[in-house]
Every structure is written in structure tokens, then in C-alpha cells.
Chain A
Amino acid sequence: MTAVTADTAGTTGVSGVSDAAVAAEQAAYETVFDAAVAAEERIEPRDWMPEAYRASLVRQIAQHAHSEIIGMQPEANWITRAPSLRRKAILMAKVQDEAGHGLYLYSAAETLGTSRDELLDKLHSGRQKYSSIFNYPTLTWADVGAIGWLVDGAAITNQVPICRCSYGPYARAMVRVCKEESFHQRQGFEALLALSQGTEAQHAMAQDAVDRWWWPSLMMFGPPDDESTHTAQAMAWKIKRHTNDELRQRFVDIAVPQAEALGLTLPDPDLRWNEERGHYDFGAIDWTEFWDVLKGNGPCNDQRLSKRRQAHEDGAWVREAAAAHAKKHQHTGKHGEAQA
């Protein structure tokens, strides 16, 4: 791990190295780190990094990983009811991809000195968050399409710049995640198009889903720039490349013509092209709802977390068995291939 950490810097260690010497060493490491970030070089797990940078990355990557696994729930809700075998196969593959994304992201977080178990524990105890979007329910089949088109579309807008994140393992995980998310977004669009062009009832189902998912999708970019506590530092470290409002605008500009192509309307009377800005203007977001859902009062917060905890508790005996079996056979090599 690191040669010097913020915890040890500034104290006189057992070796008798003076505070001044430690501080000088720390400053030298920081200079190297800052220069690497400025030069667009990747920071790798064995490189020295400021503790605050490490903590910020763990928080963000963990939240991202948690969002992937909690995000399986609203879509898995429709696997057993998918209306055609083709749609069922696509949906199962999509939910499986999300589990896979969770795996890469927990692995990326582990390179920072934490563990999946520790992070899951923080998720289950409410000490770490996941994206609030998943606290909304999937009420009809069209919600699966709307999630693909809008929620995955917003996620891609957020995540493509992270492919250039200063931290190597996160950036690399994100390249793979974005490729798959791009497929998810297209299948969502295509599923909604089929509904929009289908029967009257199917069209109405699609419109209803878009009406419900549009505003929460805009909230996915986080609070407005002047209220975002993490943005400035994350941008200085090149973990983040654009502000919340910039990304939100980019998403709106992409989504409006897509909605037109779908033959569906977006539920915002103030949505119109602004020639002068070269962007779409859009109406005011209900930030009260955003903060309310974030604090735990969304339609499905309790349900999502309870289900996650239940799955974890129900699986405890399985994980214990796998560990016990591995321990029994670690010396003999017998059944050694039996890894989860």
C-alpha cells in the first residue's frame, strides 16, 4: 500500500524521524501526485495518494457498485412477466450485466484498501448510499423500457467522462461498463419504440412510464452545482470532469430529439430550444422531492434495502459453507477448483 499516509504524517514515529522530515516527505509525494494528475497520468493502486482522494474514490465507487446491485431489483421485478421470450432474454442479460458491473466496481474499490464485505455492510446499515433513482417502483412493463432509455441514458452521460478518471482501476472498469450500458440504453429505446408504435394501450403504457421516469432521471445528476458539496474537489482531482448541471444539460439535449423519434412527449411544458444558448431550456426540478427520497422517504427505499438485506442474510449459510469447504481442502488441493 502507501509509503506515507495522512494518519502517520505529522507524528514522530518509532524510528525517531522528525515531524519536519515526515512533512517534507509528504510534500514531495504530494508534488508527484499533483503533477501526475495535471499531466493526465493515471494514478494506480500502489501509487501514493492523498487520503482524502482515496476516501472520495471509495465513497464514489462504492455508491456506484451499490447502485448496480440495488438497480437489479426494479428490473428483475419484470423478468418473470416479460411479454415475449426475446424481451425476457434481453432483460435477463441486462440484469446479469448489472451484477457483473457490481463485481468490477467492488473490485476497483478493493484496490483502495477496502473489501466488498465491508462495503456491503455499509450499504446494508445505510452508511453508504446508492442512486436514489432505484427508489422508484417499476409499475408496468413499459418502466423497463423507460429505465433503459432514460435511467441508463443518464448513467452513460455521467459515466463516459469517468472513463478518463484519474484513478486507473475505476477508469478501466468504466470503459467496460459504458459499452454494456450503451447496449442497455439502445434496448430500452427500442422496447419503448415497439410500445409507442403498438396498440393504443401499449402507447399509453409507454407514455405513462416516461411521464413518471423523466424528472427522477434528471435528478440523477445530483444537486445543482451551487449545492453540490463534492464537485469542486472531485474535478480538481480529475475524478469528475464536468459539473452536475453541465451533464444534466447534455442529457436533456440528447433526450429531447429521441423522445420525438419515439413519438412520446416529455412531461415538461417549459421544455424548448434556446437558440441563443444552443441548448434546450427545461423547467424547474422539484429538489424537495430529490432530498426527500435521498433521506429515505422515496416510494421504495425500505423495500429495496430490506430485500437486499434479506438476500444477504438468506445467503449467509451458503457463503459460510463455501468458506468452510475451501478451508477444509486448501492443503490437499482437492476440490480446489471449487471457487465461487
Chain B
Amino acid sequence: MSSTPDTHETATFTGAALALGDDALILSHRLGEWAGSAPVLEEEVALANIALDLLGQARILLSLVGDEDELAYLREERSFRNVQLAEQPNGDFAHTIARQLYFSTYQHLLYGRLASGDGPFAGLAAKAVKEVAYHRDHAEHWTLRLGDGTTESHERMQRACDALWRYTGELFQPVEGLDVDHAAMESAWLASMTDILGKATLTVPSGPRTGAWAAGAGRQGLHTESFGRMIAEMQHLHRSHPGATW
């Protein structure tokens, strides 16, 4: 199919905004599921804080390319562009922290690069990178505590890191419209993981960094089974009242 440079540019921008926006939207939703169940009251506040930052980012990003509610509530599963890591169920607190560690380190590297460029996301990234620096610190501190805490916490944290490792390859698949060096970002991410997991007395997982599908599946709208249930819950009320305002 042929397209003029302008429409191609628009499609590229839309795709990139949806990729970033859906990552934030979906991870925020998962973190919101913790409300009332966190292991300690301070973590109720911290997890909600991170969820709110991500939701704020999602709302800005989705609004750049359409109506935020139509995009969040009326798209089908196959139209979401988030990485599969973001949608992975909370599991125990170690799984949530491992997901946060992998994702926030990636997001911090990405937004840092976008903020220093002159692309369309530079302004948003400059603000978001400060929020994400806190998310990363939060995840690193808990990785240290859980990895180098008790025998049980060490084992749980190692299991969580191992289980989610396969979803980390996708983070560095190039996204058209994001003008960053994904390979360099991946090297920096791996170095960071080696450092922090080492300090936490954990082993860097050795398994493959993709699932049976090629890395990049989430960005193409191929998600894991739990994702369908997650968005069914998220979208149900909105879809039950077509055209209503809230």
C-alpha cells in the first residue's frame, strides 16, 4: 500500500505514542490491582504513586493521538501495543518488584534518551524521566532487600527474576518513530541488571529473553492470555453504557 510521506509520518507517530502510552496504561492498571493488598502501608502509598505517574503519562500520550477513553476502553485486545512485560500478572510482591525493576530501568533509559533528543516526545519524556527515576530507585531498593533479605525472600526474588526474564527481549525491539539506539540501550540495561542483581546476591537469569513468539509480539498486538481478562475487567463498565459520559 502506498502512502504519502505525511500520512506515513502520522502513522509512525501514532504507533510510537500508542506503544509508550499502552505500556504506561497497562502497567498502571496492574499496579492499581494492589490497592488494599500491599505488604506494608508504605507500599500502598508507593505502588499507588507509581501507578498514578504511569496513568498520567498514559493519558498524555493517548490524548496526543485520539480520545484517551476511546483508546483505553474501546480497543480490542489485538490493538493494544504494550510490551508483554507490562501486562504480566502481579504474582507475589517479588514478581511485581521484578517487573518494576525490568520495566522502570528500561523506561528510564528510554525517556532519558528521548528527553535529550529533539523528537515529538522530548517534552513529555523530560518530565516523565524524573518520575521514572523514582520508580527505578523504588524497584532497586526492594530488589536489594528481597534478594539480600531472608532465604525465603531470596528464593522468591530469584524465581520472579527468572520467570519474567523471557519478556525483557521485547523491550529493545526498535519502535518506529522512537529515534533511539535500541542496541545501546539494551547493553546499558543488561549492565544495570548485572550490577543490581549482583548487589542483591541474585543470579542474572540465563534463560532466553523471548517467549516462543519472537520478541516484539506485544508491540504487534500479540498478548498473553491474562491480558484479555485484564482488559475485559477494565473495559466492562465503560462498554456497558455506550456514549455515556462519566
Residues of A within 8 A of B (CB): 69, 72-73, 76, 79-89, 92-93, 95-96, 99-100, 102-103, 106, 116, 141, 191, 194-195, 198-199, 201-202, 307, 310-311, 314-322, 324-326, 328, 335, 337-338, 340
**Which among B93, B145, B234 has the greatest number of chain A C-beta atoms within 10 A?**
B145
Closest to A304 in B: B36
Give, as a whole number of angstroms, the nearest-CB distance from A136 to chain B.
16
B144 interface neighbour in A99, A141, A335, Cβ under 8 Å: A335
Residues of B within 8 A of A325 (CB): 144-146, 148-149
Residues of B within 8 A of A (CB): 25, 29, 32-33, 35-45, 48-49, 51-52, 55-56, 58-59, 62, 68-69, 72-73, 92-93, 141, 144-146, 148-150, 152-153, 156, 199, 233-234, 236-238, 241, 243-246
Closest to B93 in A: A318
Contact, CB under 8 Å: B238 / A83: yes
Contact, CB under 8 Å: B150 / A92: no
Contact, CB under 8 Å: A314 / B49: no
Describe A's contact surface by its main secondary structure: helix
In whole angstroms, what is the CA distance A194 to B38 when docked? 32
Give, as a whole number of angstroms, the nearest-CB distance from B154 to chain A.
8
Contact, CB under 8 Å: A340 / B93: no
Residues of A within 8 A of B35 (CB): 72, 76, 79, 92, 95-96
Contact, CB under 8 Å: B146 / A89: no
6 contacts between A and B (CB under 8 A): A79-B33, A95-B35, A96-B52, A102-B44, A201-B241, A314-B37
Residues of A within 8 A of B40 (CB): 315, 318-319, 322, 340
In whole angstroms, what is the CA distance A340 to B46 when docked? 9
Residues of A within 8 A of B32 (CB): 79-80, 88, 92
Closest to A335 in B: B144
Give, as a whole number of angstroms, the nearest-CB distance from B123 to chain A.
20
Contact, CB under 8 Å: A314 / B55: no
Contact, CB under 8 Å: A311 / B246: no
Give, as a whole number of angstroms, the nearest-CB distance from A248 to chain B.
29
Q: Given A92-B55, A194-B246, A318-B39 in contact, is the A103-B45 Cβ separation under 8 Å?
A: yes
In whole angstroms, what is the CA distance A303 to B32 when docked? 20
Closest to B32 in A: A79
Residues of A within 8 A of B146 (CB): 318, 321, 325
Give, as a whole number of angstroms, the nearest-CB distance from B33 to chain A.
6
Give, as a whole number of angstroms, the nearest-CB distance from B133 to chain A.
14
Residues of B within 8 A of A202 (CB): 241, 244
Contact, CB under 8 Å: A88 / B238: no
Contact, CB under 8 Å: A317 / B156: yes
In whole angstroms, what is the CA distance A306 to B173 when docked? 44
Contact, CB under 8 Å: B93 / A141: no
Contact, CB under 8 Å: B38 / A317: no
Residues of B within 8 A of A319 (CB): 39-40
Give, as a whole number of angstroms, the nearest-CB distance from A61 to chain B.
15
Contact, CB under 8 Å: B51 / A72: no
Contact, CB under 8 Å: B45 / A100: yes
Contact, CB under 8 Å: A199 / B39: no
In whole angstroms, what is the CA distance A318 to B49 when docked? 19
Closest to B49 in A: A96
Residues of B within 8 A of A311 (CB): 36-39
In whole angstroms, what is the CA distance A338 to B58 when docked? 29
Give, as a whole number of angstroms, the nearest-CB distance from A313 to chain B.
10
Residues of B within 8 A of A324 (CB): 149-150, 153
Contact, CB under 8 Å: B246 / A83: yes
